[in-house]
């Protein structure tokens, strides 16, 4: 195969790849936590590869402590990880399904499946390391 043929084949592969990528639907990643309810919970888990769900309640003081951390991480990880907030007082069925017995609880979902959990108000650095560890 001569040099010209190699260049042609390379260009053809690049054009095909570009064409395939243009036809893929673009998924928008929010830069803020999504409010999760029973009506959108499954849809969010199916749509995004990595989802961190913050199980919280209005009356929970530690939940209010980590809320700004979750907001910041949603901005920092926009495009890679989606963050959701699920109010356990309003959605007890989902909380029970994932055995949430203490809040705040963060569950890391990969491809719709729960893979790891953090319970309690933990520092941002610990949550960041936890996220990185679970992004495989």
Cα distances (angstroms) measured from residue 45 to each of 14, 21, 50, 61: 32, 23, 8, 27
Give the residue numbers annotated as catalytic, written as ranges: 60, 63
Residue 24 pLDDT: 55
Residue 21 lies in a domain: no
Contact 44, 95 (CB under 8 A): no
pLDDT in tens, 92-133: 999 999 999 999 999 999 999 999 999 999 999 999 999 999
- The domain total for the chain is 1
Residue 11 lies in a domain: no
Structural domain boundaries enclosing 90 = 34-134
| CATH number for the domain harbouring residue 57 | 3.40.30.10
Residue 72 lies in a domain: yes
Percentage, residues of the chain above pLDDT 90: 79
């Amino acid at each position: 195969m001569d040099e010209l043929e190699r260049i042609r084949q390379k260009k053809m592969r690049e054009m095909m790849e570009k064409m395939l990528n243009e036809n893929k639907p673009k998924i928008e990643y929010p830069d803020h936590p999504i409010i999760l309810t029973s009506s959108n919970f499954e849809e969010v888990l199916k749509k995004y590869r990595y989802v961190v769900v913050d199980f919280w309640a209005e009356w929970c003081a530690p939940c209010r402590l980590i809320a700004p951390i979750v907001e910041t991480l949603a901005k920092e990880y926009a495009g890679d990880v989606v963050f959701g907030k699920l109010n356990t007082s309003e959605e007890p069925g989902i909380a029970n399904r994932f055995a949430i017995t203490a809040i705040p609880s963060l569950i890391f979902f990969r491809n719709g499946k729960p893979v790891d959990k953090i319970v309690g108000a933990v520092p941002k650095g610990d949550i960041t390391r936890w996220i990185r560890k679970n992004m495989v």
